[in-house]
A and B are shown apart, each in its own frame.
Chain A
Amino acid sequence: MKKVLCRLFPALLLAALPAASFAAEISVDSTTILRFQEDRTGFESKTLVPATQFLGLDIYKLGDGNLSAHLFGWGRVDLADRHETVDNSDGRLDGSLTYGYLQYRFNNANARARAGRFFVTEGIINEQVDGVSARTDLPYGFGVSAFGGATVHTVDLPGLGTDGKGDGIFGGRVNYRSKGMLEIGLSGVYESEAPTIVGGSNLPGSFGDHRMLGADLWFSPHHMVQVTGRTNYNTETSSVAEHRYLLQVTPRKDLVLTASFDEQHDRDYFYSSILFARMLKNLSQDSRAIGGSATYTVAKNAELSADYKHYNRDVGSADRFGGELRGTLLDNSVRSGFGYHYLRANPEFAITGASTSGSYHEVRGYVMRDTKSYFAAGDLIAYIFNEPVFNKDSAWEAIGSVGYHLSPALALSGDLSYGQNPQYDDELRGLVRLTYNMNMTTGKGGTK
């Protein structure tokens, strides 16, 4: 069934492409990147020269005008040494279809139907699916969405022969909106039975089926106040997996204050991930983070923010605080930013065998200029460790990028990055990028 679906949907898309010649609107986004870098992670140093093609295609106004086709994916070929792979596949070639679907957009109620490969982000649901989905608003503020199909499998974990996912998946969300004040949603996802792990006796009670229910909330009792958030419940472990809530207060148009509360119960939250079940030795832990931030729009073209977050886990606690200034000049053609953050962490978070402290400073500054003819950017980021990591006091990277708009749709650019870090005394990388963004649209606005 899965194989049939995987072949059927790309075939549907291909079948739709001839109709594109009659379509009123076509959009192509292509990025070709040729990288030059040295890979020194293995026993032998490798020279990697991968060429990667990202391609996005959107064809609107097919059929009666409400049908559209959307596709995005990438492919890579190694022009020098091969990439290492974990599944013993040929590392010289790789690629992925991120999404490819047909969409029918109805004339009312924001109703739409999709068929193909797509992402579902509805309430607590965040899935990539080969299947069908539909959503619509309903009278009196209600709304409903549903999806179903085949799971998009990923690479098998070494030695296990499976990616830990079931083969089928379905779910949906119902919601209610009260004008300008409230939205509540109930959503759920049900994946068919997870594969049995051969030799998985070390995973009892820590890995199983992917089945969740949840509620999400947007509440604004006053125009200056809004609360957003969600709670996930794992039906397999019969426990709450996650709370994630954000309070936002806007006392003035130019000032936004926030307070956040995040809590995850590791076993219940990570239950359907075989990667995490194997990686985390103690799944009985909880994670809790409480934070706050203030963002002040100093002027129309400058924004200053400060933030603080306190992390609490069973093994220890940490605090992160800092700020950032972002600004634009010359009608947004110059953009720049500077930020500083400090993570004060208990020694329990230090890198095992490399350092005695998990604390570090983060400093970043960037500036970019984008004109009708050329564009350029400089970016510097540094992590300064409280205690040396593998005898290195810091890790830093500087990136310079220059490019030229060959035409309004076509641009050629190149990046050069140099850095030093605990892994490498020096790390030099380069890339050449060709981007082509073409919109044959009849509308004045469009999407980006």
Chain B
Amino acid sequence: MRRSTKILSLLALAGMLAITACAQMKALPNLPASHPEQLSHGPVSCTECHEDQQSGSMKPYAAFNHTQNFVKNHRFYAATDDVLCASCHKVSFCADCHSNKTDMKPSVKNGNRPDRMMPHRGDFLTLHKIEGKLDPASCYSCHGRANNQQCVACH
């Protein structure tokens, strides 16, 4: 078989696959852009209303119940299911803590919300001299490449 024939055959196959995939993708549903019902204030429990499996993430609703354990480990869910997070949270909600450069500790900005889990409450200036030696990776995940002024000023 001539080289050009092979290339044309491959292109035709790729085209058919692309058309088939596009046709099938139209059958894939979107997660809602926002939660269809007003949610109560404070941490929510998805299984209060939902019993089955979340169709967009293909995971059980129970996996997203906002227990203390979920909040402490939300990094795993945010890294794979941020489309689902966006159904209830604006990106600015995440930016309360996750922004490469900020002007004050999140717990100061949100001093009227002690119920929200936020890092570096109290005198962390003293504590970081212990915690930084103990678990520097925990500092790195937020401050590693951000070169925050508070870090750079001394280090």
- A-side interface residues, number (CB < 8 Å): 154
Within 8 Å by CB of A448, from B39, B68, B83, B99, lies B39
- Shortest beta-carbon distance from B87 to chain A in Å: 7
- Shortest beta-carbon distance from B155 to chain A in Å: 5
Within 8 Å by CB of B91, from A70, A110, A333, lies A70
A77 vs B83: C-alpha distance when bound (angstroms): 35
- A121-B82 in contact given A74-B103, A366-B115 (Cβ < 8 Å): yes
State whether the Cβ of A84 lies closer than 8 Å to any Cβ in chain B.
yes
Within 8 Å by CB of B115, from A98, A155, A156, A335, lies A335
A326 touches B152 (CB 8 A): no
A-B complex: 7 closest residue pairs judged by Cβ atoms = A366-B114, A395-B123, A445-B35, A56-B92, A381-B122, A109-B28, A139-B24
- A138-B21 in contact given A123-B79, A396-B122 (Cβ < 8 Å): yes
Residues of A within 8 A of B27 (CB): 108
A335 vs B113: C-alpha distance when bound (angstroms): 10
Q: Who on chain A is nearest to B88 by CB?
A: A447
Main secondary structure of the interface of A (DSSP, over half): strand
Residues of A within 8 A of B83 (CB): 110, 112, 135
A98 touches B100 (CB 8 A): yes
As a 0/1 sequence over residues 19 to 54 of chain B, the CB contacts with chain A under 8 angstroms (1 = contact) are 001001111111101111111111000010000010
Within 8 Å by CB of A443, from B34, B67, B73, lies B34
A179 touches B115 (CB 8 A): no
State whether the Cβ of B129 lies closer than 8 Å to any Cβ in chain A.
yes
> How many pairs, one residue from A and one from B, have CB atoms within 8 Å of each other in the complex?
320
Within 8 Å by CB of B42, from A54, A152, A332, A364, lies A332
A395 touches B122 (CB 8 A): yes
A139 touches B21 (CB 8 A): yes
Residues of B within 8 A of A209 (CB): none
A183 vs B125: C-alpha distance when bound (angstroms): 39
- Shortest beta-carbon distance from B58 to chain A in Å: 5
Residue among B57, B122, B146 with the most chain A CB within 10 A? B122
A377 touches B112 (CB 8 A): yes
B30 touches A109 (CB 8 A): yes
Residues of A within 8 A of B11 (CB): none
State whether the Cβ of B16 lies closer than 8 Å to any Cβ in chain A.
no
As a 0/1 sequence over residues 117 to 151 of chain A, the CB contacts with chain B under 8 angstroms (1 = contact) are 01101111110100000011111010000000000
A98 vs B136: C-alpha distance when bound (angstroms): 25
Identify 5 residue pairs between A and B in the complex whose beta-carbon atoms are under 8 Å apart, listed by A's number.
Answer: A258-B73, A358-B134, A397-B122, A446-B34, A448-B39
Residues of B within 8 A of A123 (CB): 79-80
Size bracket of the B interface: 35 or more
B137 touches A262 (CB 8 A): yes
B152 touches A447 (CB 8 A): no
State whether the Cβ of A293 lies closer than 8 Å to any Cβ in chain B.
yes
Q: Who on chain B is nearest to A61 by CB?
A: B33
B145 touches A433 (CB 8 A): no
- Shortest beta-carbon distance from B42 to chain A in Å: 5
Residues of A within 8 A of B95 (CB): 56, 72, 98-99
Within 8 Å by CB of A137, from B28, B67, B102, lies B28
Within 8 Å by CB of B137, from A180, A242, A366, lies A242
- A86-B136 in contact given A223-B60, A295-B68 (Cβ < 8 Å): no
Other contacts beyond A98-B100, A278-B155, A280-B136: 13, CB < 8 A:
A27-B90, A29-B92, A70-B91, A72-B92, A154-B145, A154-B147, A155-B152, A266-B136, A287-B136, A295-B69, A337-B115, A377-B111, A445-B34
Within 8 Å by CB of A138, from B25, B41, B42, B59, lies B25
- A163-B123 in contact given A99-B91, A105-B33 (Cβ < 8 Å): no
Residues of B within 8 A of A70 (CB): 90-91
User: Which residues B70-117 have CB closer than 8 A to chain A?
Assistant: 73, 76-80, 82-83, 86-95, 98-104, 108-109, 111-115
